[in-house]
Amino acid sequence: MIYGRDDEVRRILDASDGSVTLIVAEPGFGKSALLRTVNEVVSARSRTITVSLTPVERQLPFSGLRALIQAADAEPDPVPMLARAIGWQEPDRGPNPVAADVAYAFATWWRAAVPDRGSMVCVDDAQWLDAASETCLTVASRSGGTRWLFATRDDSSLPGLASRADRTIRLGPLDVVSAGRLAMSVSGADWSPARLGALHARSGGVPSLIRALASDDEARFSSTIAEWYADRLDRLDDAQRRVLAAAALTLDPSVEVLRACFPDVDIEGALAAAERSGLIDVGLGTIGFAHPVAREVMSAGLGGVETAAIHASLAAVVDRPDERAHHLALGTIEADDTVAAEIAAAGIDAARRGDHATACRLLVRALELVADPGSDRTRYRLQAGISAVAAGNWERGNELLDELRSGEPSRFDGIASSLLVEAASALIGVTERVRGPGESERVAGRLLSLPLEAPDRARLVRTAIRLRQVHSLSSGAALAERELPSALGSSDAAIATGARLTRQSIDYLRGEAVGLDGVVSDAAAVDPDGVPQGPLWLAAELLTWDDRADEARRACALLMSPPSGRAPTVHTMSTALGHLVRIERRAGHWERASEHLRRLDEIALATSEIAAIYDSRDAVWLHAATGTDDVAGHHARMLAIVDHVPATVAVEFRALLGFAALSHGDAATALEHLIAADSAADAADYTDVRSVGFQPDLVEAAVLVGDVGRAQAATPRLDAAATRSGSPLLAMEAARAAVLVATARRDARTSAERLRRVLVDDETARLGRPFEVGRAWFTLALADARVGARARAATAFDQAARRWDVLGARSWTSLLEAERRRVGTERAQSGELTDTERQVAQLVSLGRTNREVAAAMIVSVRTVESHLTRVYRKLGLRSRSQLVAQYRDR
């Protein structure tokens, strides 16, 4: 029975599916009792899963996740990455996952293992949740129908969950009435008002202290529950206190473990004395603690040397390797190379499981304990630095890897090449974040002198080239000219293929034609794992850039389901899905693109904010073109970080923001973004073919605001790029830009004929870019209207409208219809509906939503929206209410 918490119970039970509730209070305020009460109510009608954590679990990799999976009574074996993370399978020897990979795997598994809507997870003493598990639970809590309830002393110990929480309930002291009811229920006797008042004052209204004082008339004065348990502990002798300290310091205390630790102590007698004092409960060989605070008081009751000795004893008897390493780390005082090696091995195992924060902590401890200042010390430092970077601790990673930045290459002669290249890649990334891109480029250049084996050196060369070309294509190209020739001639197929694709990337960005036939098969043959920045990754990127839709889809499919059978990382999946969104968006398959975006949104929960925004950048484009409400959120997030990303990324973001503004008819704002994109491209020496992509939008925005001079200045770059690349798309865009400028100068006839010839060309027909072709027809319609060719203008308007209607590009359809009315070429309103359009209209008139109409007709929502747009136009209507009224009057 719980007293004085009725309002808190109601607030928790009112929580909706998929919500997160934090209960925050100091020890003794009744968090556990509140969880038990809620669990009893919910379990009567829904599934509940309850976990109580301990201090030891905060130190072990994915220990909280393991406890939750065990409590859920479900096997994670179908998800190998998850089974390896919690220690139920041996980690493999491939690239180490990061917490985000495990988090996404857990969230996916959880939705399948616990599908029940209305189910509730209760995690008590959540302040002991290890950081890796907290990341996983934060991600999992953002999807599915589970209600999550976490009781913690301090919400700052759960930064991810605290930011995700829908409500935070902070427990205060009980009032006098509730305190009296609790005291009388414990003692079984009536209390006078005066006695209750004294008890309330003495306890401060803390429920656990009220319960303790009410059951013990002889208790010494205690102002906190910790003091009350400390008083109880003081009544035991030294040997009994050491036994209890060992029980408190181990993960799963048992009589068997304590006997092994203290063979000369009467374990049963010590436990019986503690049980009589109300500190523990013993049953069937296991030991439970009366309260989490009791456990903490016991573990803190000895001095440092005595506690270290107990940890050393526990290390000799516990079974789990990660727990043994934890006790060794805390129980070893003097330098010991053997112990250091075992702790380092546990750290490497934690990294292989995906818990890099724990890995870093253990490796740093191994570094402190190593006696020989030789290669072991360097190896532990590099491994700790890699894990610090993987855990997002940039400053610590930068500090640990500094030796690699400044040391002579000969110092690393005894270090494995695979470790050196992994450390070098981590150092390049952290240097860019901590010290800036200029320093990271210099560091990358120096790292190429490390004693690396050929495959590892080739990988580092690709990383260095890519880093440079992100900031300056010419700098990346110069490094490629120096480093790639030897790799291109390598007898190692993987090295040669990677070098060739890197070379082709640079050539493509320069606007040169590249041969990509057979590139997917070649890349997959040498890169079966689809590793980041590997050949398959490069192939997918190149094919996406070059609009090779079918081959790009195949490459992305292989990245998400590698030929080797290894699970892809979250980074790889989000990159591949980002490519697929762009491929399908360009090809006019916007429903497919939206589906990929939905998957990206799920994955984005496990990634950093900047990575999530970058991978889903085409969401801004799609939402702007279709006129959906979602554009505001994506737009705001992109705008918030645009000044804090590499210059080439900023160019792309500004271009997308400019397109979004154009789609909403705001040419002035569009021009601001597009001028910023142009300036950033020039400042960063970003002269590759992608920087040409936004020039047609810049021309259009400049013409619309009357800055014809700026528009005309941009057209030569487009013409040159179209000629150099031979791209039908650039040829069409260059012709469209010329028409925009000529129309503004009232001299559109010649340029309009040029664009018309391009639009009827066979290559344009095979282009597969319906939205862009629609824009070209729209531009041509405006030019024809300006010179009085109304019939041609009407035909061109129809060509654009037909494509945009199918796509569902409502923003642009609205702009088109406004221009039709302005120039007087509106389509005739025949009022004749097709059978499908008539069915849509009838269902809408009955009050059905678009989603309900789509379900009834077994079509997509977007198809319904397209039909509805045509219904409005044919019937001369402007709103849903007008359609309903018209059908009601029939």
**Of the ranges 86-90, 311-315, 566-570, the best mean pLDDT one:** 311-315
pLDDT on residue 213? 83
| Residue carrying the six token digits 């009955």 | 846
Whether residue 826 is predicted with pLDDT greater than 70 in this model: the reply is no
Q: Where are the alpha helices (DSSP H) in 493-630?
A: 493-509, 519-526, 535-545, 549-560, 570-587, 590-604, 609-615, 618-626
Confidence of residue 689 (pLDDT cuts 50, 70, 90): low
CA dist 229 and 420 (Å) reads 52
User: What is the DSSP-derived secondary structure letter of residue 123?
Assistant: E
pLDDT of residue 498: 92
User: What ranges in 146-224 are assigned the alpha helix state H?
Assistant: 159-164, 176-187, 193-203, 207-214
Q: For residue 168, what is the DSSP state? A: E
Check pLDDT > 70 for residue 525. yes
pLDDT at 740: 94
So what's the pLDDT on residue 48?
92
- Find all residues with CB under 8 Å of 300, minimum gap 6, and list them: none
Higher pLDDT, 606 or 628: 628
Would you state the pLDDT for residue 515? Answer: 86
Q: What is the pLDDT of residue 182?
A: 92
pLDDT of residue 685: 65
Does 842 score more than 70 pLDDT? yes
Supply the angle between the helices 790-807 and 861-875 in degrees, to the nearest 10.
150
Around Cβ 219, how many Cβ atoms within 10 Å? Answer: 15
* d(C-alpha 429, C-alpha 739), whole Å: 45
Residues 835-854: what's their mean pLDDT? 84
723: pLDDT strictly greater than 50:
yes
pLDDT (mean) for 650-661: 88
pLDDT at res. 396: 93
In this prediction, residue 690 carries a pLDDT of 59
Res 221: pLDDT: 53
φ, ψ (nearest 5 deg) of residue 717: -65, -40
Summarize the confidence of residues 734-744 as an average pLDDT.
Answer: 93
- Average pLDDT over the chain reads 86
pLDDT at 141 over 90: no
Least confident of 394-403, 471-480, 626-635, 728-737: 626-635
Q: What band does 442 get if pLDDT is binned at 50, 70 and 90?
A: confident
CA gap 878, 884 in Å, rounded: 11
Residue 828 has pLDDT above 50, yes or no: no
pLDDT in the model for residue 890: 57
Torsion region of 90: left, alpha or beta (phi above 0 gives left; psi -120 to 50 gives alpha): beta
Looking at residue 608, what is its pLDDT?
A: 59
The residue behind tokens 């209209």 is 841
Are 796 and 779 in contact by the 8 Å Cβ rule? The answer is no
Number of neighbouring beta carbons within 10 Å of residue 721: 22
User: At a CB cut-off of 8 Å and minimum separation 6, what does 657 contact?
Assistant: 620, 635, 638, 639, 642, 673
Could you give the angle at which helices 417-435 and 375-390 cross, rounded to 10 degrees?
A: 50
Least confident of 148-162, 414-428, 705-719, 821-835: 821-835
Share of the chain above pLDDT 70, in %: 93
Q: Is the pLDDT of residue 831 over 60?
A: no
Q: Tell how far CA 443 is from the center of its chain.
A: 28
Q: Which two tokens stand for residue 246?
A: 């060992």
Residue 889, pLDDT > 70, answer: no
What pLDDT was estimated at residue 21? Answer: 95
Check pLDDT > 60 for residue 296. yes
The residues near 877 (Cβ < 8 Å, ≥ 6 apart) are 871, 883, 886
Rounded mean pLDDT, 714-733:
86
Global confidence as pTM: 0.78
What's the sign of the alpha-carbon dihedral 384, 390, 395, 401? positive
Average pLDDT over residues 284-291: 87
Burial of 285 (0-12, 13-18, 19+ CB in 10 A): exposed
Buried b / exposed e along 225-260 (16+ C-beta atoms within 10 A): bbebbbbbbeebeeebbbbbbbbbbbbebebebbeb
pLDDT bucket at 411, cuts 50 / 70 / 90? confident
Tokens 């309900």 correspond to what residue? 852
pLDDT at 688 over 60: no
Q: Give 194's contacts (C-beta < 8 A, 6+ positions apart).
A: none
692-703 pLDDT, tens digit each: 789 999 999 999
Across 206-235, average pLDDT: 78
Residue 103 scores a pLDDT above 70? yes
Q: What is the C-alpha separation between 3 and 33, in angstroms, rounded?
A: 10
Residue 239 tokens read as: 């040997």
DSSP for residue 692? G
- pLDDT tens digits, one per residue of 327-362: 999 999 999 999 999 999 999 999 999 999 999 999
* Per-residue confidence (pLDDT) for residue 336, from 0 to 100: 93
Sign for the pseudo-dihedral over CA of 454, 459, 460, 462: positive
Between CA 125 and CA 53 the distance in angstroms is: 6
The whole-number average pLDDT for the span 422-431 is 89
pLDDT at position 42, please?
Answer: 92
